[in-house]
Amino acid sequence: MPKSPSKNPPVSDFVTDEGNGGETHQHVDIGADHGDASAHLTTDMGIRISDNQNSLKAGVRGPALLEDFVLREKIFHFDHERIPERIVHARGSAAHGVFECTKAIPHLTKAAPFQEKGKQTPLFTRFSTVAGGAGSVDTPRDVRGFAVKFYTEEGNWDLVGNNIPVFFIQDAIKFPDLIHAVKMEADRGYPQAASAHDTFWDFIGLMPEAMHMIMWAMSDRTIPRSLRMMEGFGIHTFKLVNAEGQSTLAKFHWKPVQGIQSTTWDEAVKIAGADPDFHRRDLFEAIDGGQFPQWDFGIQVIDEEMAAGLPYDILDSTKLIPEELVPVEIIGRMTLNRNPDNFFAETEQVAYCPANVVPGIDFSNDPLLQGRLFSYLDTQLKRLGSTNFHQLPINAPKCPVMNFQRDGHMQMAVPKGRANYEPNSLSEAGEAAGPRECPMSGFATHPTNLEPNDGNEKVRMRPELFADHFSQARMFYRSQTEVEQGHMVSALVFELSKVGLEHVRNRVLARLVNVDETLAARVADGLAMPLPAATTVAREPVDLDLSPALSIHKQSEPMLAGRKVAILFAEGSDGKTIADLQAAIKEAGATPFLVAPKVGGIATTKGPLKADGQLAGSPSVLFDAVALVLSPEGAAVLTGEAAAVQFVMDAFAHCKAIGADKGAKALLDKAGVEPDDGVTALGADFIAAAGQRFWDREAKVRLPV
């Protein structure tokens, strides 16, 4: 057994950044101070492993090789560690819908969904958290999966991505390590669905390539207000191939028509207690109520010359291409318009696989993508128990399926005939010979690499540009508003405060210095720790142009449509005001929700009125804005109710719009509400304010970090 470290090693000694581009070929030093040097890492067959950081590729920038038994065994074992729940993305919500092409691009791709404007393709989309189990809550700080299954007439295309355009690692061989580190700790079984613990940050501190993703993970992107209000990304660079066989590099984007919106951390924590199914309920109710979520689908197109001139490698999944450099061209729209009929049969049994592509879509040599092409099929086999999982209705293509695959557990088809092989000549005996390959219309891998290959050697290395782990992390942080930067600092302080090992905190701080010294200093101050020196790097970071598109606040516009607004009322409230407010909220495309101390009926000036939710069970964290319709007497009574005071306090602290009539003054005063642009009278001013947050208010309710 490897020995535990005998002391906390200094940051500069723990990771050796050397050779083959420095950090591109990392090895953890397990010398005398860090473990038993004789405890060699081996495969399950006892074969010593020379490199556990890089998969075997055909050239530094070439595709991964099937002969890499280290990669295959590691991912194979990882894929089969849990049954039947997904190891990652276990908690999901999904819906049926349709994709409509709004701009045909046959000059770029022959893929069926993009051949003509107005063409519609049915689809099934699943959103998910990554780290938690199926029974975890909806609102932890976590990456969200964003997977779309297009049922095209040429077969299924699965675009399996996240709500973040980059990832933690560059090579799929590290994926089991990443997930082991972020999952609940092996000896104690907690924390569930949380990254604020020792093992995750220990791994992150030792993997500088993760620092860009950490900036995203600690931003408001990982605490979304709604699944309907997230961006989606294909993450990897793919190829588009047209009918003439010409290929172009591309990245895929989903942009929510509902706008991007997140919660605050305090809000997310309280939502988890008030409604663990907050996102699942929000998506279901929006579709059920006819407020169909929509996303514009766009592509970033990159030619070979541009790709070669970038200061980063487009095969590196820890990097993105700023929209200011390559604008996103909108070519379609997805509308989710039908909830699943059965959660298990559809949402749970749906099986996505990045290897499912149609003619016109092809893969790049991204080493993370290459590993995913192997992993997902293997995972679905273990989870669904049969090679025939593609026959389940939610997974079945909506085009003819003809091949010689036979038998297997849970075979649902009844193949006829004697021939179960190809080629065969049994048609001469009066039987159908069966399907044959289609050289003209079938999928064919694009014959040339747009990426230059610098040799044919079999290597475990990464390209030189992969070694820059900090430039884009710096670009992301500095592209945020001051408020968003403050949220990131607070997130890092919270997460690292849960880390018990001081040397781990120290190492992460040293990495943060490479991103931005002011950021690192603020986090260190929040932890009451001295700021360490920056770690040495193999490739010095550069100051890239800032990208406003990376900021939620810089792109947000007031939008009330699709949101939910609470109306708090009590004994003696004005019934006409409530009715008028409900009508105005509906006219703006939002959903009004009546909250009262009792749900069965409360006397208003227009008679008894039933509430949609009881006050203690409907806190303001569940809503985008709140309105208080109270008589002076009713407000006075509510000042003695902690749930009512907290209702208003949280709405104010979370920078939401608060509309109130004059009768509500006592409750506003008790909750410490101070006048600002987001505290309005009821009416048009409130409707205009309700679709936004008032971030200037944070200075009144929260100490700066």
Active site residues: 89, 162
What DSSP character marks residue 440? Answer: T
Q: Which of 337, 215, 223 has its CA nearest to residue 278?
A: 223
Please tell me the distance from the alpha carbon of residue 660 to that of residue 681, in angstroms, as a whole number. 5
Q: What sign does the CA torsion over 351, 354, 355, 361 have? A: positive
CA distances, 57 to each of 51, 54, 504 (Å): 13, 9, 32
Q: Which residues contact 471 (CB under 8 A, 6 or more apart)?
A: 311, 312, 541, 542, 543, 544
Asked if 282 and 621 touch (Cβ cutoff 8 Å), the reply is: no
Nearest to 239 by CA among 251, 226, 229, 222: 251
Q: Report the chain's C-alpha Rg in angstroms.
A: 27
For 373, what's the count of Cα atoms within 13 Å in the CB-facing half-sphere? 19
CB neighbours (10 Å) of residue 111?
23
For 394, residues 6+ apart whose C-beta sits below 8 A from its C-beta are: 124, 345, 346, 349, 350
Burial of 269 (0-12, 13-18, 19+ CB in 10 A): middle
Torsion angle of alpha carbons 131, 176, 467, 450, nearest 10°?
A: -100
Strand partners, 98: 122, 335
Distance CA(195)–CA(686), nearest Å, equals: 38
Residue 5 neighbours by CB distance under 10 Å: 14
Is-contact 310 265, C-beta < 8 A?
A: no
How far apart are the C-alpha atoms of 174 and 90, rounded to whole Å?
Answer: 20
Q: How far is residue 369's CA from residue 363's CA, in Å, rounded to a whole number?
A: 8
Give 688's DSSP letter: H
C-alpha 449: how far from chain center? 29
Which residue in 218, 295, 272 sits closest to 487, CA to CA? 218
How many helices (H) does the chain have, and how many strands (E)? 20, 22
Q: Is 371 helix (H, G, I), strand (E, B) or coil?
A: helix
* In contact, 656 and 626? CB cutoff 8 Å: yes
Which letter, b or e, does each residue of 614-628 get, where b requires 16 or more Cβ atoms within 10 Å of its Cβ?
Answer: ebeebbbbbbbbbbb
CB 541 within 8 A of CB 471: yes
Can you spell out the DSSP letters for 468-523? --SHHHHHHHHTS-HHHHHHHHHHHHHHHHT---HHHHHHHHHHHHHH-HHHHHHH
Angle of the 482-497 helix axis to the 517-527 helix axis, nearest 10? 50
Cβ atoms of 557 and 580 within 8 Å: the answer is no
